[in-house]
Structure 1
Amino acid sequence: MTPQTDMENGGHPAYWVKSVEKTFSVLLAFSADEPRLTITRAAAKADLSRAAARRFLLTLVDLGYLRMDGSHFELTPRCLDIGASFLANLSLPQIAEPHLKELAVDLNETASLCVLDGAEIVYLARVAAPRLLSVSVNVGTRFPAWATSMGRVLLAGLPERAREEYFASLSLQPFTHHSVSSIDRLRAEVDRAGAQGFSMVSQELDDGLRGVAVPVRRGNDLIAAINVSLQTHRVPEDEIARTVVPQLIQAAQSIADDFGGRRAAAS
């Protein structure tokens, strides 16, 4: 059933509450580019008269959603309460997916999110490159952690004792002739991933493919890793740290922020 509209209410449905619309127009007037607004500027951005904007701003101050600093107003942390319930019900894969999609489009490569489960990585989200019609790896797929870029990033984040216990229990079974063939070499690669903040694994799991991964951290906690899978002929290896890794780091930070990373860093 289509709600009846009221032409005297701007063509909106009859139930439309104009003051609610105006309240959110004032709140949304604040942005990263303009976090502090005067009454005049807020009125212009919210398309309100100066007198109306003043009433809305002062009411929002009384409610705790804005604070005053001289002639300027700015948002308070209480504004986070508006989206808190929504964010609390989002899972990590749901939060990561739009960022993975953006990464896949920007790089034209497949992007994935994984976590460590025992000695294996588990894919929680995966977005295929726009140029690919099918993907052989799906959500829920598992691989030995040691043979993947995401696995090595996640292993590097383990406490030292847990990492050494992992190495002690490991039996390497190479997938290709490029695969790491000794525990000492693997330990060096994991240490390198931890030191440089990313891991690159070239043709160790599958010929012709190179994986590049970075950690996703919420505060001090390592919660996951994201990577892109590159065909070896598409991006020269010596350009990856300059061209691919920064975009991965930015995507990982965005995922962490949306998953509560800003709150964890502030606490």
Structure 2
Amino acid sequence: MFGAAVEAPRDIERPGDPEYMASLARGLAVLQYVAQRERPVSIAEASRALGFSRAAVRRCLYTLHQLGYVGHDLRGYSVRRKTTALGHPYLSLTAFAVRAQPLLDSLRDELGESCSLGVMEDDALCYVARSEASRIMAVGLKVGSTLPLYPTSMGRVLLAGRSHEEQDAYFARTQVRALTPHTIVDIPRLLVTIRRAAADGYALVDQELELGLRSIAVPVIDRGRVMAALNVGMSAARVSMDDVQARLLPALRRTAGLLRPA
């Protein structure tokens, strides 16, 4: 029903890893197996397919049934609608990126520069939509690419949307290093820059990620929170800082205002 067939896990126990919860891994494997079947599943069938004991499968299914993720009748076990909630954020983000693509294409055509849409994922900037200009940028970014948050315009906009406590915690666990001679690596200065971006409503980064690359980003706001960032990247030699703010920033803000999740 949902993707490829489940193979029997070979190393699901992982006895050498004290942080690993084998019982949770078994439960997720059972849930995935049931979700991928187009008919109800018996305990014996799941046990054979996954290589777990019948007792283990029974306990997993009992727990999943009590939590409302699977239903049970005389034919066996099948998933309930509650399982769709597990994938809803990902599916919503995917749909949002699909809807955003024509707007990015239009912005690219208007400005003649590459445009991107990004979100924060695991302390990194993740690109979810991108529209390339005819010029080839050396960074070679594409949908699914990830970059550090601190030296990027979108990353700073996304960090600017978090609380001061969350910003401090991010830098406490992040190794900041110079990617170019222009990269800001002083954390107090980075925090000032990020908090200024929150006040200004945009972040401008000049050759901190890669020499010759300049970018500007604005937040995409949903119900009062920053849920994504939209940026334009350009050659520092070709586009002046004045042009970035006078021509690109208004177009970015206009497009960001049109970007809203369903």
How does the TM-score come out when normalised to structure 1? 0.61
1:183 partnered with 2:190: no
The equivalent residue for 1:250 is 254
- 2:217 and 2:230 in contact (8 A); partners too: yes
The equivalent residue for 1:227 is 231
Q: Please tell me the residue identity of whatever aligns with 2:188.
A: D
SS at match of 2:169: helix
C-alpha separation in 2, matches of 1:133 and 1:186: 25
**How many pairs are equivalent?**
171
Q: Measure how far apart 1:238 and its partner are.
A: 2.2
1:167 partnered with 2:167: no
Q: Please tell me the residue identity of whatever aligns with 2:99.
A: I
Which of structures 1 and 2 has the bigger CA Rg? 1
The equivalent residue for 1:205 is 209
1:137 partnered with 2:105: no
SS at match of 1:213: strand
Q: CA RMSD in A?
A: 1.9
- 1:110 and 1:128 in contact (8 A); partners too: yes
SS at match of 1:115: strand
Determine which of 120, 123, 135 is the counterpart of 1:116: 120
C-alpha separation in 1, matches of 2:93 and 2:145: 24
The equivalent residue for 1:103 is 107
C-alpha separation in 2, matches of 1:134 and 1:238: 23
Instruction: Percent identity, please.
Output: 36
Q: Measure how far apart 1:241 and its partner are.
A: 1.5
1:150 partnered with 2:149: no
Q: Measure how far apart 1:134 and its partner are.
A: 9.2
Structure 2: gaps spanning 5 or more residues: 1-91
Q: Measure how far apart 1:211 and its partner are.
A: 1.0
- 2:127 and 2:143 in contact (8 A); partners too: yes
Relative to 1, partners in 2 of residues 1:89 and 1:132: Cα closer, same or farther, differing over 3 Å? closer
Q: Measure how far apart 1:163 and its partner are.
A: 1.4
Relative to 1, partners in 2 of residues 1:164 and 1:135: Cα closer, same or farther, differing over 3 Å? closer
Q: Deviations over 1:230-264 (max 9, x none)?
A: 100222112322111110001111112xx24xxxx
Q: Measure how far apart 1:132 and its partner are.
A: 4.2
Q: Deviations over 1:89-124 (max 9, x none)?
A: 971110110010011111100000000012210000
